[in-house]
C-alpha cells in the first residue's frame, strides 16, 4: 500500500495541471462562498425595514454552527472543478501507457485500480480540508470567536467528503471507460451541469420523485439547502433533512457499484 501511495504521489507532484486545478479550486471555494455572503449582506444590511425583517427571518447562515452547513452546500456546487483533475489523471495513464508499464513492473491489475482509488481519496480529502478552512474562517468572521456550539454541525464536512468522493468516483469511471480526457470531461460536465438537472426538473414538474435517485443527485441530497430555506418552505426542508440517512446509504451503494465496475472492467480489458 505504501508503494502505491508513494508512486501516485510522485505522479501527481510532477503533474502541473494537478497543481493548477487545485489552485483554481482553492480560489473558487472561498470565492463562491464570499459571493453568497456578499449577497446576504446586501439583503440584510440596508437601512430599510424590509432588510431588517429579512435578517430577523433568516438569521445569519454564515455564523456558527450554521456556517458548516452553508459553506459545504455552496462548495458542493463546484465539485466539477476537481473532477477535471480526476479525469485527466486516469486519462493520462492510457495516453502515456503508464497503466501498462505498472503491470509490466509487477503490479496486479487490481493494484492499478486501487492506486487510482487512492488518488480520488486524496483529492477528496484535500477538497474537504479546503472546505474546512473556508467554513472555519467564515464562521469566525461572523462570530468573532469560537463558541460552545461551534462544532454542532461540523458533521456536514463528513457528508461533504462522502459527496465529493462519490461524484469524483463517477468522474473517474467516465475517464476510465472513455480514456480520452476531453471527451470524458465534456460528457461529465454536460451531464453534471445540464442533462441530469434538466431531466430532474422535468420529472419534478410532472410530479415524479425518481430524479432523487439519479447518480449525482443521490449524493447532492446529502447536503440540503441551508437552514434559511426552512423559512420559505419548512415542510420541504424538514423532508430533505430526514432523507439524509437514506441518501448516505444510497451514495455508498452507488459508489461501491462504480468501483466494482472499475475493478471488474480493468481485470477483463486488454492492456492497450
Over residues 84-93, the pLDDT tens digits come to 889 998 998 8
Q: What is the mean pLDDT of the chain?
A: 86
Highest mean pLDDT among 13-27, 33-47, 228-242, 252-266: 252-266
Looking at the predicted structure, is the pLDDT value of residue 232 above 80?
A: no
The mean pLDDT of 212-236, rounded to a whole number, is: 84
Domain positions in the chain? 2-268
- Tell me the DSSP string of 137-198: HHHHHHHSS--TTTTTTTHHHHHHHHHHHHHHHHHHHHHHHH--HHHHHHHHHIIIIIIHHH
Looking at the predicted structure, is the pLDDT value of residue 49 above 70?
A: no
Which residues are within 8 A (CB) of 35 and not within 5 positions of it... i.e. 6 or more apart? Answer: none
Looking at the predicted structure, is the pLDDT value of residue 169 above 80?
A: yes
| DSSP designation for 230 | G
| Model pLDDT, residue 54 | 61
| Model pLDDT, residue 133 | 94
Q: Bigger pLDDT: 24 or 158?
A: 158
80 closest CA partner among 220, 199, 212, 258: 220
Give this prediction's pTM: 0.92
Q: How far apart are CA 204 and CA 98, in angstroms?
A: 45
The mean pLDDT of 42-67, rounded to a whole number, is: 74
Amino acid at each position: 500500500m505504501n508503494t502505491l501511495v508513494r508512486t501516485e504521489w510522485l505522479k501527481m507532484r510532477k503533474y502541473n495541471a494537478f497543481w493548477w486545478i487545485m489552485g483554481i479550486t482553492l480560489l473558487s471555494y472561498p470565492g463562491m462562498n464570499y459571493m453568497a455572503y456578499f449577497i446576504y449582506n446586501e439583503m440584510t444590511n440596508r437601512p430599510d425595514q424590509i432588510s431588517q425583517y429579512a435578517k430577523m427571518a433568516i438569521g445569519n447562515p454564515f455564523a456558527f454552527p450554521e456556517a458548516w452547513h452553508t459553506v459545504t452546500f455552496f462548495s458542493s456546487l463546484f465539485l466539477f472543478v476537481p473532477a477535471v483533475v480526476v479525469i485527466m489523471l486516469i486519462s493520462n495513464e492510457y495516453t502515456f501507457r503508464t497503466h501498462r508499464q505498472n503491470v509490466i513492473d509487477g503490479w496486479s491489475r487490481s493494484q492499478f485500480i486501487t492506486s487510482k482509488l487512492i488518488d480520488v481519496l486524496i483529492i477528496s480529502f484535500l477538497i474537504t480540508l479546503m472546505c474546512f478552512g473556508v467554513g472555519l474562517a467564515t464562521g469566525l468572521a461572523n462570530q468573532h470567536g469560537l463558541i460552545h456550539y461551534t462544532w454542532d454541525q461540523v458533521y456536514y464536512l463528513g457528508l461533504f467528503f462522502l459527496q465529493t468522493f462519490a461524484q469524483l468516483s463517477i468522474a473517474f469511471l467516465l475517464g476510465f471507460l472513455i480514456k480520452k480526457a476531453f471527451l470524458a470531461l465534456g460528457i461529465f460536465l454536460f451531464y453534471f451541469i445540464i442533462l441530469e438537472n434538466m431531466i430532474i426538473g422535468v420529472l419534478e414538474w410532472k410530479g415524479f420523485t425518481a430524479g432523487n435517485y439519479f447518480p449525482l443527485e443521490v449524493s447532492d441530497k446529502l447536503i440540503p439547502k441551508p437552514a434559511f430555506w426552512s423559512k420559505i418552505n419548512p415542510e420541504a426542508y424538514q423532508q430533505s433533512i430526514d432523507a439524509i440517512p437514506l441518501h448516505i446509504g444510497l451514495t455508498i451503494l452507488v459508489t461501491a457499484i462504480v468501483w466494482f465496475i472499475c475493478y471488474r472492467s480493468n481485470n477483463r480489458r486488454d492492456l492497450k
